[in-house]
Each structure stands twice: as structure tokens, then as C-alpha cells.
Amino acid sequence: MLKLTDAKVELDKQLILSLDEIELAYGQFNVLAGPSGAGKSTFLHLISGQLKAKQGCIHWKDQALEQLSDNDCSRWRNQEVGFIFQDFYLIPSLSALENVILQHSFSNWRTSTTLKQQAIALLKQFGITNINKNINQFSRGEKQRISLARALSGNPSIILADEPTASLDKENAKFVIEQLKEQAQRGKFVLAVSHDPLVIEQADQTVYLERGVIQHESTDAA
């Protein structure tokens, strides 16, 4: 369970998020919806410890983020969190495989064979065959599948996706949603920020955010 209690975020002395209480479960497909500027990306930065709350508590299972030092918080994030972005944030000068394993080379002086094998397996699973090709030679749909592989490598327990389907055609969007749902079914914490109806209709739980405040929640009882 992710539980936020009375969490407030200020940026440039402006209150960006003001969240009384939110509980989101592992093992389901969570969606955070809301208009542009509502604070959705800021919410992802907050729950992944990239941004400190002015006040309040962010508890992941039994880990309270506010109790971690900056170093421990980075370590926790590297181990536990995988990110997927609308614009991929892939490194243009590297190959598909290098992009997937790059993040691990910051924490280990040498990427382990296991991580490399896992990266290759993930890319293959997502239909990326020419893994040594430069990232610029892949289509947008392929790039998002490569960033999915990057997010899942190292087996993080938390998958956070910021508008992961916004720049994709319908077929590729559906593929990304299916993969996120599958990760949830495996018991992981999965949260996608989106206003894409394709994503929202697949959600088990949707939280609507407007001007930094939760408007309402809906749970798919089906």
C-alpha cells in the first residue's frame, strides 16, 4: 500500500499539491487523471522521493520516505522504482540495450551479466530484436517498448508511468497498457498518470486531481 497523509508540496512558494489522504494498493492498475498543470507529474516526483514534501507523510508499505536520508532515498528509488515517460528520455547516442542497462551502471561499477541477460530478455519479450541498433533508428512505438524494458529491468516493485501513451498510436498504446496491467497482476505497484480514455477505462482505481487537490476517486468494481 502507498499511503499519503496530509502531504503538501510547494514550488517557488506556491502550493502545488495539497493531499489530505490517499491510499493506493499494490497489485492493481492505478491511474492518476486530471488536466494539464494539475500537479500529476509533481505527484510522481513526490511519491518517488525526488521531491520533498513541505509537510506530511508518504509511506510505501513499511517505508516512510521522510525518514530516509537523501542518499538512502536515492538508493531506495534505484532499487524499487521504474519510470516510464511520455517522451521516453532515452539517450540518443546509445543502442537499445545500452539504454536499458545504463541506469544500473551508475550504481554498480560494472553491469552484471544477470542484468544484461535480463535486459536482453525484456527487449526480446517486447519485440525489439535488433538490440544493438542506435536508439534513433527505432519508431516511437518501439522506443516506448524500450523504455518499458528499461523501467522493468532490475525488477523494481513500483512502476510509475507519466503519460506513457500520449505520443503513441492506438496499437502501441494498447500494448503499453497491457504490459502495465500485467505488472500489476504480478503484484507490483503500478501507477500511470494519464488523461487518455484508453488508459482510464482499464484502471482498477482512478484518482482525479485538479489544481493540486483530489477531486474524487473511482474504483472499478468489475
Ligand X SMILES: Nc1ncnc2c1ncn2[C@@H]1O[C@H](COP(=O)(O)OP(=O)(O)O)[C@@H](O)[C@H]1O
Is beta strand 55-60 parallel, antiparallel or unpaired with respect to 2-11?
antiparallel
Q: What is the SS3 assignment for 126?
A: coil
CB hemisphere CA count around 94 (13 angstroms) = 14
Closest-approach residue to Mg ion (CB): 41
- Partner interacting with residue 95 (select from Mg ion, ligand X, none; CB below 5-8 Å by kind): none
> How far is the C-alpha of 28 from the C-alpha of 155, rounded, in Å?
17
- Residue 76 CB, nearest approach to ligand X (Å): 22
- Looking at the Cβ atoms of 36 and 129, the one nearer to ligand X is 36
Measure the CA–CA gap between 29 and 124, rounded to whole angstroms: 24
Question: Taking CB within 5 to 8 Å according to partner kind, which of ligand X, Mg ion, none is near residue 127?
Answer: none
Q: Taking Cα atoms as reference points, which of 146, 195, 191 lies closest to residue 166?
A: 195
Under the rule (CB under 6 A), what is the footprint of ligand X? 11-12, 16, 34, 36-42
Only segment of 40-48, 120-128, 148-156, 201-209 that touches Mg ion (CB under 5 A): 40-48
In the bound complex, what is the minimum distance in angstroms from residue 164's beta carbon to ligand X? 13
Q: Are strands 2-11 and 14-24 parallel, antiparallel or unpaired?
A: antiparallel
Distance CA 117, CA 140 (A): 24
Give the nearest distance from C-beta 42 to Mg ion in angstroms. Answer: 8
**Segment contacting Mg ion by CB under 5 A, of 38-46, 93-101, 131-139, 144-152:** 38-46
116/67 Cα distance (integer angstroms): 33
The residue (of 38 and 184) whose beta carbon lies closer to ligand X is 38
3-class DSSP assignment, residue 96? helix
Does 41 bind Mg ion (CB under 5 A)? Our answer is yes
CA atoms of 142 and 146, how far apart (whole Å): 6
CB of 64 to ligand X, least distance (A): 23
Closer residue to ligand X (CB): 11 or 121:
11
CB of 41 to Mg ion, least distance (A): 3
Return d(Cα 31, Cα 191) in angstroms, integer: 5
The residue (of 12 and 62) whose beta carbon lies closer to ligand X is 12
50 binds Mg ion, rule: CB under 5 A: no
- Residues of this chain that interact with Mg ion (CB under 5 A) are 40-41
